Amino acid sequence: MKQIGIIGAGAIGQKHAEAARDAGAAVRWIADTSFARAAELAEKFGGAPCDSADTVLNDDAVDAMVIGVPNRLHHPLAIAALKAGKDLLLEKPMALTASQCEEINDVATRTGRIVQIGFVHRYTAVGKLAKQVVDEGRLGHIYHAKAHLHIRRGVPGLGKWFTTKSVAGGGALIDVGVHLIDLALSTLGYPEVADVSGQVYSTFGRRMRGYVYENMWAGPPDWDGVCDVEDAAHAFIRFRNGATLELDVAWAGNFPEPAIPASLMGFFGDAGGMTFELFGDHATLTSERDGALVDERLEAPAAEPFRDQFADFLRSIETREVTGANGCQGEVVQRIVDEIYLNSLPQQAAVEA
Ligand SMILES: NC(=O)c1ccc[n+]([C@@H]2O[C@H](COP(=O)([O-])OP(=O)(O)OC[C@H]3O[C@@H](n4cnc5c(N)ncnc54)[C@H](O)[C@@H]3O)[C@@H](O)[C@H]2O)c1
């Protein structure tokens, strides 16, 4: 049974501890700088709690590590884990920049270790269905894709690490945008990117005390904290094969409901189109049959995304080949993110006036 060390006992650490257990691995360590949090998780899912990643890095019995800590720590901890001879399930975003991702990939190659990135949307019911439909060729040649996620007011943990650029690397784009980019690209078979244009917007979170919210995942706001990241991003990505991807992601925006659906993934081909909601249970296939336009509802088979992702990781450890999201794909996603940040013009700071 593979021995797993989990670094980070926060929201995602809990998901991975449960997934590791359900996929048939042994959780050996749960490390968190908050020992209490590590202990709470170890109590539930097994393993021993500790308050430092070093304990896990120095344990030769650990086969693989899961890194689920704030984004800034992904790069240094990933490098340390690989150098310590551990295989790695590394949470998204892979790192803060593409050059950090490149470095992680170089070390993985040199050490012969595998790196899988936590792009878990590939394992949702609709994520799997979409890939199957595209791979079966039911859409024909796909010329365009859309990836949209609109949250009316959902800046996470306002004022804390998710909204602090030096720790998170950015806001909605690097947090949830990366999931959408990977889901679109993996469904399309990772076509080569030709160019990227885009703009990020920092409109709502920066109001801090004036920010009215509907939900606040990642904990209650720290009104005296920092928010120097974007809460929305819009981008257009062209691939060398002539296909395009329109990305539209927001933690916050003035979105009328239901005029704009909360989430929409769409793939449009010359033989058919497919749309679905990110957390949905079906896709709609749109095509022509016998001279008429038809819409077909495709039910998505049930899935356990985190468990299935972990099972894939365990298989990859055995076969030494990553079948899920690999480090090179994580780097491609990060390059797109880097480009969008680089492309973005400074915004007129209306809220700061
Ligand atoms: N794949 C997904 O769907 C998904 C969902 C949520 C979060 N994430 C990613 O997981 C990571 C963590 O997010 P979260 O929501 O769990 O955050 P969180 O704030 O809930 O948890 C982070 C934990 O890391 C701990 N920590 C901080 N520094 C540490 C260190 N040096 N060593 C050990 N532990 C340390 C903190 O004490 C905290 O318990 C982020 O990169 C985030 O992008 C991915």
Distance CA 135, CA 128 (A): 11
Report the atom number in ligand 1 closest to the C-alpha of 77: 31
- Indicate whether 218 and 288 sit together in one domain: yes
Tally of structural domains, the chain = 2
* Sign of torsion over alpha carbons 330, 331, 334, 335: negative
CA of 7 to the centre of ligand 1 (A): 8
Percentage of residues of the chain with pLDDT beyond 90: 92
- Please indicate, yes or no, whether residues 259 and 344 belong to a single structural domain of this protein: yes
Q: How far is the CA of 1 from the centre of ligand 1 (A)?
A: 25
Q: Are residues 131 and 254 in the same domain?
A: yes
What is the DSSP code string of 294-316? EEEEEEPPP--HHHHHHHHHHHH
Same structural domain, 74 and 7 = yes
My answer on whether 93 and 237 are in the same domain is no
Average per-residue pLDDT for the chain: 95
Q: 2 and 63 in contact (C-beta within 8 Å)?
A: yes
pLDDT tens per residue, range 252-277: 999 887 667 689 999 999 999 999 99
User: DSSP state, 136?
Assistant: T
Tell me if 163 CB under 6 Å of ligand 1: no
**How much is the pLDDT for 259?**
64
Instruction: Judge whether residue 353 has pLDDT over 50.
Output: no
Residue 331 lies in a domain: no
Domain match, 238 and 290 both = yes
Is there a single domain that holds both residue 175 and residue 138?
yes
Positive or negative: CA dihedral 289, 290, 294, 299? negative
158-189 pLDDT per residue, tens: 999 999 999 999 999 999 999 999 999 999 99
Please tell me whether residues 133 and 221 are part of one structural domain.
yes
Read off the pLDDT of residues 31-64 as tens digits, 9 standing for 90 and up.
999 999 999 999 999 999 999 999 999 999 999 9
251 & 167 share domain: yes
CATH of the domain at 255: 3.30.360.10
Q: Is 129 inside any structural domain? A: yes
What's the residue count for the chain? Answer: 353
* Mutation pick for ligand 1 pocket among 12, 50, 88, 123 (CB with most ligand atoms within 8 Å): 12
pLDDT digits (tens, 9 = 90+) for 210-257: 899 888 889 899 999 999 999 999 999 999 999 999 999 999 999 887
Cβ of 71 closer than 6 Å to ligand 1, yes or no, is yes
C-alpha–C-alpha distance, residues 333 and 35, integer Å: 33
On the CB side of 102, how many CA atoms lie within 13 Å of its CA?
5
Q: Confirm or reject: Cβ of 118 under 6 Å from ligand 1.
A: yes
- Report d(CA 315, CA 114) in Å as an integer: 11
3-state class (DSSP) for residue 226? strand
CA–CA distance, 183 with 278 (Å, rounded to integer): 10
Q: Does residue 336 contact residue 246 with C-beta atoms inside 8 Å?
A: no
Ligand 1 atom nearest the C-alpha of 10 is 21
Is residue 275 domain-resident? Answer: yes
Q: What is the pLDDT of residues 282-295, one digit of tens each?
A: 999 999 999 999 99
Per-residue pLDDT tens digits for 86-144 = 999 999 999 999 999 999 999 999 999 999 999 999 999 999 999 999 999 999 999 99
**Same domain for 64 and 207?**
no
Q: From the alpha carbon of 31, which atom of ligand 1 is closest?
A: 33
Q: Is 33 in the pocket of ligand 1 (CB under 6 A)?
A: yes
167 C-alpha vs ligand 1 centroid, how far in Å? 11
Which CATH number goes with the domain that contains 36? 3.40.50.720
Q: Is the CB of 117 under 6 A from ligand 1?
A: no
Looking at ligand 1, which atom is closest to the CA of residue 7?
33
Q: How many CB atoms lie within 10 A of CB 349?
A: 10
Ligand 1 centroid distance, CA of 12 (Å)? 6
Q: What's the CA-to-centroid distance between 259 and ligand 1, angstroms?
A: 34
Whether residues 255 and 312 fall in one domain:
no
Angle value at C-alpha 123, between 119 and 125, nearest 5 degrees: 140
Domain that holds residue 194: 122-303+336-352
Tell me what the mean pLDDT of segment 75-96 comes to: 98
Ligand 1 pocket check for 5: Cβ under 6 Å: no
Ligand 1, closest atom to CA 51? 33
Residue 202 lies in a domain: yes
* Cα 181 to Cα 187: distance, rounded to the nearest angstrom: 10
Are residues 256 and 292 part of one domain?
yes
The average pLDDT across 68-85 equals: 98
